[in-house]
Amino acid sequence: MSTQRVVLVTGGNKGIGKAISTAFAANGDAVIINFNKSLDIAKTVLEELLPGNTTISIEQADVSDYRQVKQMINNIVEKYGKIDIVVNNAGIVRDGFLMLMSEKDWNDVISINLNGVFNCSKAVSEPMISQKSGVIINIASLSGITGLPGQVNYSAAKGGVIAFTKALSKELAPFNIRVNAVAPGVIETEIVDSLNEKIKNNFLNAIPMKRFGKPDEVASVVKFLASQDAAYITGETICVTGGLY
């Protein structure tokens, strides 16, 4: 079997996910970039990464649908004969104060951000148990640790992801499968770009390092957790927040 690592990044076509896909691709890994709706964006990322690495591909699947996820994992295992690393990154934001939050906005965020992690981890656990190796990295958020107003859905989902990470790490440790999480703070992505200047400045004032994080700075921690350098780390959540808590 090839020594090239096979890496799946859910929501790997945008923002932090794109930076993670790029980091693994630059490392020479076989990267499968999962996307759901944005085929054009996924194709663009594929074209950007292909010249340096010919084992990049894109896979459409809605992470909130177990059957689609299972099919995607089956496709990967059939093509490469294994799956080494899964980065559960796919997520959405539907902010609003609880009093004004619709049930749909609550359910959508839980379905994708929390159930999506369940679906991908469940689907991949079988081949990983069989291989007796694997790494699962869940992208959580500072919001899941401290809670943020206007984000009860997102905070609940990400807090759930952190607890899920701890529990699953204990279940899968006997099979040489590590499960960790990364909790980014405020990172320069489209979501942050869309905030108005006043809110951006409020965040900047609160961040001890007085700047937003870069997607690459999250990707490098993910890359570390996926590497042998982190061979004895499992069940952990590493914050990438510039000191913000």
Partner 1 sequence: MSDTIQKLKDLLITRLKLKVKAEGITEDTPLFGLNSLGLDSIDVLELIVGIKKAFGVEILDREVAEKIFTTVGSIARYIEEKR
Dihedral Cα 221, 222, 223, 224, nearest 10 deg = 50
Tokens matching residue 1: 């079997």
Binding site for partner 1 (CB under 8 A): 122, 125-126, 129-130, 171, 174-175
Q: Residue 176 in 3-state DSSP? A: coil
CB of 130 to partner 1, least distance (A): 5
Q: Provide the edge-to-edge strand list for the sheet that holds 30-35.
A: 56-60, 30-35, 6-9, 85-88, 134-139, 177-184, 237-240
Residue with smaller CB distance to partner 1, 102 or 130: 130
C-alpha closest to that of 174 among 125, 227, 129, 228:
129
Residue with smaller CB distance to partner 1, 171 or 229: 171
CB of 124 to partner 1, least distance (A): 12
CB of 176 to partner 1, least distance (A): 12
Q: How many residues does the chain have?
A: 245
Residue with smaller CB distance to partner 1, 33 or 177: 177
- Positions marked active-site: 154
